[in-house]
Amino acid sequence: MSEAMLVMKNISKRFGSVIALNQVDLEVYPGEIRGLIGENGSGKSTISSIAAGMQKANEGEMIFQGKSWAPANMIDALQKGIGMVVQESGTISGVTVAENIFLGEMDAFKNKMGIVQKKKLNAKADEVMEAIGVSDVKGSTPMASLDFQTRKLVEIAKVAMKDPKILVIDETSTALSQDGREIMYNLMNRYRKEGKSVIFISHDLEEIMDVCDTLTVLRDGNLIRTFKREEFDADAIRTSMIGRELEGDYYRSDFDSSHGEKVLLEGKHLNFRDGLKDISISLHEGEILGIGGLASCGMHDLGKALFGALPLESGDVIAFGDKQIKSAHEAVEEKIGYVSKDRDVESLCLNADIRDNIAIAGMDEFKIGNFLITNKKEIEYVDKQISDLSIKCASRNQLTSQLSGGNKQKVVFGKWIGCGSEILILDCPTRGVDIGVKQAMYNLMNDLKKQGKAILLISEELPELIGMSDRILIMKDGKITKEFLRSATLCDGDIINYMI
């Protein structure tokens, strides 16, 4: 066997009293796709980000290509051979694709007068995007006009452009639809063939078993086991991840699609650019209505439109039969909650603590009279959500940015459930969360359904839609192409032809 390209020895990392990594050893070899898997907060992103220069370990040492490795920051690490595509958004909205890709490197495109040559800059960005297999995104395109998936592909291209020896991909596939994933897989396979390495973090067990050569399981900051490909076994990996076998049902066990008669939320003839073309839907009390399709089908626009967060060209959104929703503020007043796919940008304030993020939507629940908010009442309210949702944190005062993806998502759920939302619009609610947290969220959705709450579940994962929905509406090119009722025999193959 060849020598390891990266050696990490006794790596420990603490955030206050929370131990994120406890003397973890990791070796990555040339031509290897190394998978990292574990529950949220297990340490996967932490150990990868230490290798990629994003943060420093409290203890331990690293060796890269036979030499001591201590990058000053992510830019330094990327220039010297380890690049990381982060889990959440890593682009800047107010500039173009080209300006994002070459941020900090504009001097190479300036003329003698110090003016950036935009034509040259954009042409080079086009080449960078085409190098990873994306030809329909141009350097001159404003980032703000791109969807979440396409922004993530720009991030991948930006890192791959530097041709690092080790490419770290952290939970990126959850932001991508199938066509985007194929672009990423092709890049990973190219790295393997060229004798480079990939560290691939994913919660999708089927995906990680399919694309990885070896698989390392982390749990509570400890390295539990490394599986070679010939040892891959789904049940053994799951048990290693959570320290126990999953108990109870994962998705819903019933196949009853019944719900209340009352329509709680209705969209009538909704139109928005190419995303929504005369869409009309009804969501009933006690119903989980699934919306599926490819990333660009319009389903994410639909979620925002029903929350009043999209400037519709025409159409009406009606809540509870007579309340017109024209803004997100009106939606919140009518007890409508919205969990965005892009949670770090649209659902959370990362620079605020957990307390503020949860409390912001629930002030009507803990105020005294119409004007007084007491510290005690607010703390009781927030602590209840932290306890009920088992949010893993140092305290309610911990910055939300320091939480794992799954615990961030629990904070978002806590914000909307705590304030008594009657309607929940959930856009890819289990994106980037582990199987244990997913199971807890599915159980929570089922409980909310039984309470008569109305849930709109937007998802790019067909098993999730089939497993949880009473009805499924499939979208393509801004239109609804098919409706499916809950059934024990419904499968991916029945649905996919209406998506593509």
Per-run averaged pLDDT (10 residues), the chain, 500 residues: 90 86 96 90 90 95 96 94 84 90 89 91 95 92 88 92 95 76 92 96 87 94 94 89 69 92 97 94 98 89 96 96 95 95 89 95 80 84 93 93 88 94 95 79 94 96 93 96 96 87
Q: What is the DSSP letter of 352?
A: S
Amino acid identity, position 453? K
State the pLDDT at residue 244: 60
Q: Going from the N-terminus, what domains does the chain have, and what CATH number goes with each?
A: 6-94+142-242 (3.40.50.300), 263-496 (3.40.50.300)
State the pLDDT at residue 89: 67
Find out whether 171 and 203 touch, Cβ atoms under 8 Å.
yes
Amino acid identity, position 263? V
Residue 59 structure tokens:
């203890």
Residue 79 structure tokens:
């220039």
Burial class (CB in 10 A: 0-12, 13-18, 19+), 379: middle
Cα distance between residue 359 and residue 340, in whole Å: 18
State the pLDDT at residue 205: 84
Cα distance between residue 224 and residue 229, in whole Å: 16
Find out whether 301 and 275 touch, Cβ atoms under 8 Å.
yes
State the pLDDT at residue 424: 98
DSSP-derived 3-state class of residue 65: coil
- CB atoms under 10 Å from CB of 318, counted, come to 16
Cα distance between residue 190 and residue 195, in whole Å: 9
State the pLDDT at residue 492: 86
